[in-house]
Amino acid sequence: MTLRPGQRLAVMGAVLAIGATACSSGGGSTDNAAKPGGSAAPPAAKTAAVRIGDASDSTGPAAAIPEAKTGGTALVLERADFNHLDPARVYVSHEQTVLLLLSRQLTTFKQVDGQTVLVGDLAKDTGSSPDGGKTWKFTLKDNLKYEDGSAIKAADIKYGVERSFAKEITGGPTWIQEWLTGKGADFRTVYDGPYNGKSYDAIEAPDEKTVVFKLAEPRADFPFAVAMHTSSPVPREKDTKLDFDKKPFSSGPYKISSRDIDKGMVLSRNEHWNPATDAVRHAYPDQWKFEFGAQNQQINERIIAANGEDKNAMTFRTAVGRESAQKVLETPDLKARTADAFTPFAEYFDINNRRVTDLKTRQAIVAAFPKQQVRQILGGPAYGELSTTLISPTVLGYEKYDSVGVPPTGDPEKAKQILAGATPTIVFAFPQTPVWEQIGVAVNEALTKAGFKVVAKPINDKSYYTEIGRTANEYDLYWSGWGADWPSGIAVLPAKLDGRKIQDDGTNYALYDNKAVSAEMDKIALVSDVVEAGKQWAALDKKIMTEDSPVVPFVYRRQLTLYGPGLGGVKVGFIGSTYPTDVWVK
Amino acid sequence: MSLSSPTAEAPSSASATDGSPAAAPAPGPPAGLTPMRLAWRRFRRDKAGVAAGSVVLLFFVAGLGAPLFAKLYGKDPYTTYGQNEPGLLNDYGYPIAPNGGISGEYWLGIEPGLGRDVLTQLLYGIRTSLLISLAVVAIVTVLGVVVGVTAGYLGGRTDYLAGRVIDVMLSFPSTLFFIAFTPVVTSLLTSPGEEMSPLLRGSILVMVLSAFGWAGVARLLRGQVLSLRSREFVEAARASGSPPHRIIFHELLPNLWTPILVTASLAVPAYVTTEAALSYLGVGMVEPTPDWGRMLLKGAEVYQTDITYMFVPGISMLIFVVAFNLLGDSIRDALDPKTDR
Amino acid sequence: MLRFLVRRLLGAALILFIVITATFFLFFAVPDDPARLSCGKTCTPDTLAAIRANLGLDQSVPAQYWDYLSGIFVGRDYGEMRCDAPCLGYSFVNSEPVLDTLLDRFPATLSLAFGASVIFLTVGIGVGVVAALNRGGWLDKTTMALSLIGASVTIQFLGVIARYVFVDELRWLPKPEYVPLLDDTPGWAGGLLLPWLTLAVVQAAVYTRLTRSSMVDSLQEDYVRTVRAKGLTPFQVTGKHAWRGAVTPVLTVYGIELGTLLGGAVVTETTFNIPGIGKLAVSSVANSDLPMIMGVVLIAAGAMVLANVVVDALYAVIDPRVRLS
């Protein structure tokens, strides 16, 4: 049988005809970004938007929001239940977020006119140090109460921190433990928690209102560290050890009234919480209802549809996915219902500095890397702002610079020049998911154009971090994300690039080890003025990238979440999740 | 045909899709010694069959000739045109032109995100699907025929054993096994720092898909052989002292061509769908090998903004499977004129 | 009849045993260390060893196999925790008992299979009978053409397009989702309507073709011709006699299909995000969650084998020509 030309066209015609009648109107024009309202551009990243507040900033109550009112039930939709609710065990951002409702700390963050301000929470101010940062003293406010009406005492904070040393109490941050003992990750060799009857002398509670921490070395950032939930008060008689994780004893404005793990949770008002003592939390709704188990896309669809009680729905962490970002941002009704801000999360493509030892090769990777193309696959501007620095704009002292000066699409010609005829092989590792496979294609194409030989290596999605976290891994280039625990360079650079912290499952994924840089980190860590320290961190950031190019900075993450039309005061908070503290039900 | 015998077994047991495509009723009884030429003549008179055959042939030509076509058309399925040329994709990675970016330059539009050419992706995707499913069908058919005929002819213990093995194979939740085993086999065959070649990955898929598919064929063939064995001409051959291989090749096989051909022709579209389902579930071919299942997966993701991208692979696959099923029906009618359909 | 059933059930149990054994040993080829996965980010060698001991991963593969098998019949101990029979172990990923998760997910799968079956059997058999009685007519030709297309379309394509057209654009159907039957019955039916219909379109086509062809065969059988010769109308013939012969192949195919559906309609559940056994299968494979994979395989194979036994028993009831042996 011979093939007639008409046959092929007939089949294609059928496809085209259906395609033309039933389908998409197209993505629209590129100049959308220039139009107000239809803008895909993210809010501008602010620099150095961090300040340390004083006692007057720390005094409650929080300034009332003009049209806000008290009452109603707000609904929170999340994909999965919270793994931890024990303040000594939470670390993940959405868990920290729900604990804003259930616990209080020595200090906390407040947003004033778009600026992040560190203020006292249980403490009257952000603490004081008589000796340049080695000893830190906090004085508690008056009228602080737990959910049962009993008073919050300084000894409870001491006990709360002590129990975070126990070997059963895992998962939380370890800054305070490490700084108190000066033993790094081996802090348990000095003190291993209160469960065997011992108390820890480095923390003192001389009276009901005063708590004193005696650190091993000066740490100017200590007031930031106690904003994390490790410093939450726990009365010894209420400590249920492992069960505390399921139902913590509340010091915050709400308490858990019912919880069905993996399905839902209801928080009701803690009547004993006194708004006059709290500079940050508003606690407008009477009740918070949580629902777990829906997929991210379903959550967004529910909030878009806003039927029934979904009218009052929000989500702490379910970002608008790439499948609906365009629809949400270009539909005014929906765009008006989004919380949108930069987060402390920054993402990088780490270069394995143990394998790629040649500086020129690393610089060429940075020059050739197709950041914009990769971001387009991940959802475009809604995903984040392309970055050239290690620390992000939410961090104190941030300064913009560009160590290579190439367009965001990468510059294969420039990379070729740097390589000067060499053709190194680069193993690019990524989690095996459809999206990342596509990123693999884009990275492969760009680096190949610049003269690299690229081996694309998908890794099981679940073991991705374990795999790239092995110091003996056999990959050259891989993605990782990092969120600063508080807006200071010390929460980014030493964790990410201190060569002494290279270990299996560590966070120095680039395996970057420069003795001079490590020494500089130690020096800046001891600077007692946080603003001055911020400047020095930024300078170190630039020095590392300019001299060593150990990673490819990729994006500063943006958090874009939807909320129902029945809510007001929904904002992205400092941790990078959507905050419940200002929310009210219309 | 005895309706109580379980030969009403469509090749659907191979299917990893929930709805078994191509689960057409059982082929008819053996038609005696029908010359192929007669069948061919009958087939040519069947207009629907010829049309379906032409479409199938067209798909074969399009798939196998994809590289040549790509050369004439001036695009390839790997270059990310949309990312390289401004004005094709917007900030979110969606085609700017309506209908998925269909234009004189990109006949079926461009892929959201990476901005590759959809038409060449589709053509290369046909090639991937066809090569994999043809390989599976070949293996499954040969294996099934060997086991089925051996069991049916030898009978006794061998038959009992084969029967039980077939029962077990057919009881395995095959869909589950496809998704569970592909990653296992894959991780066994590669080490970190090494990229798996598309050929190896394709072979793994073929292996996993073949592991279960033969059982259905074997069961069908066994039933056919059992009923043939008691026919006079086989009894006669045996009585006259013909050696077993002679009986199998000269007496039995000629009578088995009809069910074998029909099963095989209906199995091809079933495996095309199955392969697409595996890729859709994330265990099939990976980037950058063009693949229909992955196009459908992406289509399902972007359908709210760019439904065209879903239509292209979806409709193409529908046309292909319909044509192949029609062809299978026609082949059966041609080979076995007694069946009435 | 009883002897037949006992024999078939014993056979079914044996098949299940073989399936579970094969699955167990095949999956020990997975190089991912499950203890490592459940240990998480802040993993120390001590915790890792503890998890390994707790999960029994420090023992040899045959010993683990024995633990698993005996757990099903007499239960087993995990450290301080007691897992009562039938014990299918605990998930490596979230430490939930496998059995609880399976029981939690099964209603969704059952709902999907049940509703879809009702629709596709009614429509498929009904249309098939009409087509057979109308053989050669335009009605026959049209339904056959439509059913060919129906049988050829893929769920993932049809599902998404139907959703786009009927849910997003026309808003005729409610958004597909799974709501437990007892929580909200209208919501249950509404949320599953599109998945049911999608699955039914693909399936009904198969049954239409099958019913039609076996009805055609059946109508030509001697005994049907005899009763027809006695002056019964085609409808009486169908209603009283022909259906018996015609329904057997339909039942055979449905038996296998039901087994498959109860083991989780993977593509349908994935396309519509229905939290059933099929979705569980996909996620537990992605997580290398061995106990969960074993549980899913067990339930899927069990459904398949059981459906076959039931179908065989029904043959005898429906078709007088079948002798149970």
Q: Which of residues 42-81 of B touch C (CB under 8 A)?
A: none
Distance from C309 to chain A by nearest Cα, in Å? 36
Using a pLDDT cut of 90, give the percent of chain B over it: 4
Neighbouring chains to B with at least 3 Cβ pairs closer than 8 Å: A, C
Does this complex have an ipTM over 0.85?
no
Residues B112 and B128 in one domain: no
C69 located within any domain: yes
Mean pLDDT score across all residues of chain A: 85
Shortest Cα–Cα distance, B212 to chain C (Å):
13
Subunit contact B113:A32, Cβ cutoff 8 A: no
List the domain range (segments joined by +) for residue B233: 49-70+121-335
Our CA-based measurement puts residue C205 at a distance from the nearest CA of chain A, in whole angstroms, of: 23
Tokens matching residue C26: 């095949």
CATH number at residue A537: 3.10.105.10
Q: Is residue C323 assigned to a domain?
A: no
Residue C80 to chain B, least CA–CA distance (Å): 31
Does A203 have pLDDT greater than 90?
Answer: yes
| Shortest alpha-carbon distance between residue B137 and chain A (Å) | 24
The more confident residue out of A40 and A339 is A339
DSSP annotation of B65: T
- Per DSSP, helices labelled H in A306-455 are 325-330, 332-335, 359-368, 371-378, 412-419, 434-449
Q: Which residues contact C289 (CB under 8 A, 6 or more apart)?
A: C34, C91, C92, C93, C283
Tell me: the pLDDT tens digits for B265-300? 888 888 888 888 888 887 888 888 888 888 888 888
Whether residue C36 and residue A463 make contact (CB cut-off 8 A), yes or no, is yes
- Residue C173: is its pLDDT beyond 80? yes
Which residues from chain A sit within 8 angstroms of residue B279, using beta carbons?
none
Structural domain includes residue B34: no
* Position B249 pLDDT exceeds 70: yes
Helix (H, G, I), strand (E, B) or coil at A556: strand
Q: Mean pLDDT, to the nearest integer, of A422-449?
A: 89
pLDDT in tens, C201-222: 888 888 888 888 887 777 777 7
Find chain C residues with C-beta within 8 A of A305's C-beta: 175
Which chain C residues contact residue A81 at CB under 8 A? Answer: none
pLDDT in the model for residue A570 = 92
The number of distinct structural domains making up chain C is: 2
- On the question of pLDDT at A8 being above 50, the answer is no
Same domain, B96 and B151: no
| Domain end point (choices C77, C95, C113) | C95
Distance from CA of C287 to the nearest CA of A (A): 6
Residue B324: give its domain's CATH number.
1.10.3720.10
Q: Identify whether residues C197 and C251 lie together within a single domain.
A: yes
Which is nearest to B123 in space by CA: B52, B80, B73, B184?
Answer: B73
Contact A475, A457 (CB under 8 A): yes
pLDDT of residue C96: 77
Same domain, B53 and B185: yes
CB contact under 8 A, C253 and B8: yes
Same domain (yes/no): C73, C129:
no
pLDDT at C34: 61
R_g of chain A, CA atoms, integer Å:
25
Same domain? B112 vs B125: no
Q: Give Cβ neighbours of residue B72 (< 8 Å, ≥ 6 apart).
A: none
Smallest Cβ distance to A463: which of C32, C47, C165? Answer: C32
C33, B182 contact by CB (below 8 A): no
State whether residue A463 sits within 8 Å of chain C by CB.
yes
Minimal C-alpha gap between A519 and chain B (Å): 33
Nearest C-alpha of chain B: how many angstroms from A147?
46
CB contact under 8 A, C285 and B183: yes
**Distance of alpha carbon B238 from alpha carbon B247, whole angstroms:** 7
Q: Count residue pairs from B and C with Cβ separation < 8 A.
A: 196
Same domain assignment for residues B88 and B111: yes
Q: What is the pLDDT of residue A106?
A: 95
**Can you give the C-alpha Rg of chain C in angstroms?**
24
Contacts with B10 (C-beta within 8 Å, 6 or more apart), sequence order: B20, B22, B23, B24, B25, B26, B266, C253
Regarding whether B127 and B110 lie in a shared domain, the answer is no
| Residue with the two structure tokens 């045909």 | B1
| Residue A370 touches chain B, beta carbons under 8 Å | yes
Contact A302, A313 (CB under 8 A): yes
CA distance C79 to chain B (A): 29
Domain that holds residue A547: 342-558
Per the structure, the count of domains in chain A is 1
In this structure, is residue C324 part of a structural domain?
no
CA–CA dist A287, A274 (Å, integer)? 17
Please state whether beta strands A73-78 and A313-314 pair in parallel, antiparallel, or not at all (unpaired): parallel
Tokens of B143: 């294996």
**Interchain CB distance below 8 Å, B113 and A11:** no
> Does C128 lie in the same domain as C81?
no
Same domain, B267 and B172: yes
- CB-nearest partner of C281 from B4, B179, B299: B179
Give me the mean pLDDT over the A155-168 stretch: 92
The minimal CB distance from C152 to the residues B175, B187, B269 is found for: B269
Q: Which residues of B touch A22 (CB under 8 A)?
A: 307, 311
Domain span at residue C44 reads 2-95
Is residue B9 included in any domain, yes or no? Answer: no
B102 with B247, same domain? no
- Are C273 and A505 within 8 A, CB to CB? no
CA distance B204 to A340: 45
Number of domains making up chain B? 2
- Minimum-distance CB partner of C153 among B12, B300, B318: B318
Shared domain for C47 and C166, answered yes or no, is no
The dihedrals phi and psi of C319, each to the nearest 5 degrees, come to -105, 110
Q: How confident is the model at residue A83 (pLDDT cuts 50, 70, 90)?
A: confident
Helices (H) and strands (E) in chain C, counts: 14, 2
- Contact residues, chain B, for C265 at CB < 8 Å: 18
- Where does residue A177 rank: exposed (0-12), middle (13-18), buried (19+ CB within 10 A)? buried
Question: Does the pLDDT value for residue A264 go beyond 50?
Answer: yes
Place of tokens 């167990």: C24
* B182 and B297 co-located in one domain: yes
Using a CB–CB cutoff of 8 Å, tell me whether C156 touches chain A: no
| A559 contacts A45 by C-beta, under 8 angstroms | no
pLDDT in tens, A95-145: 899 999 999 999 999 888 777 889 999 999 999 999 888 999 999 999 999
Query: Does B30 reside within a domain?
Result: no
Note whether B187 and B297 are same-domain residues.
yes
Q: Does B131 lie in the same domain as B111?
A: no
Decide the pairing of beta strands A73-78 and A287-292. parallel
Residues B93, B161, single domain; the answer is: no
Q: Chains contacting A with at least 3 CB pairs below 8 Å?
A: B, C
State if pTM tops 0.80: no
Query: Domain for residue A571, yes or no?
Result: no
* A177 is a domain residue: no
Per DSSP, C42 falls in state S
- CA A271, CA A248: separation in Å to the nearest integer? 16
Beta-carbon separation of C268 and B18 below 8 A: yes
Whether residue B23 is predicted with pLDDT greater than 50 in this model: the reply is: no
The answer to whether A472 contacts chain B (CB < 8 Å) is no
Query: Which residues of A, range 259-318, sit inside 8 Å of B by Cβ?
Result: none
* pLDDT at residue B39 tops 80: no
**Chain B interface, best mutation among A30, A354, A376, A437, by max B CB count within 10 A:** A376
pLDDT at A188 over 70: yes
Query: Does the residue A459 lie in any domain?
Result: yes
Q: How far apart, in whole angstroms, are the C-alpha atoms of residue A356 and residue A341?
A: 35
Contact assignment for B281 to C161 by CB distance below 8 Å: no
In this complex, do B173 and C304 lie within 8 Å of one another by their Cβ atoms? yes
C43 touches chain A (CB under 8 A): yes
Contact residues on chain A for C42, CB-CB shorter than 8 A: 170-171
Model confidence band, residue C63 (pLDDT cutoffs 50, 70, 90):
confident
The answer as to whether C325 is a domain residue is no
Could you tell me if C301 and C162 lie in one domain?
yes
Interface contact B100, partner C, CB < 8 A: no
With CA atoms as reference, the chain A residue closest to B293 would be A434
- Cα-to-chain-centroid distance, residue A93: 6
What is the pLDDT at residue C134? 81
A69–chain C nearest CA distance, Å: 32
* Contact state of A380 with B113 under an 8 Å Cβ cutoff: no
Choose the final residue of a domain: C64, C95, C126: C95
Q: Of the given ranges (A270-274, B97-101, B116-120, B206-210), which has the lowest mean pLDDT?
A: B97-101
Asked if C175 lies within 8 A of A293 by C-beta distance, the reply is no
Query: How is B305-340 classified by DSSP, letter by letter?
Result: T-THHHHHHHHHHHHHHHHHHHHHHHHHHHH-TTS-
Q: Please check whether residue B323 lies inside any domain of the structure.
A: yes
Coarse DSSP helix, strand, coil percentages of chain A, rounded to the nearest 5 percent:
35, 20, 45
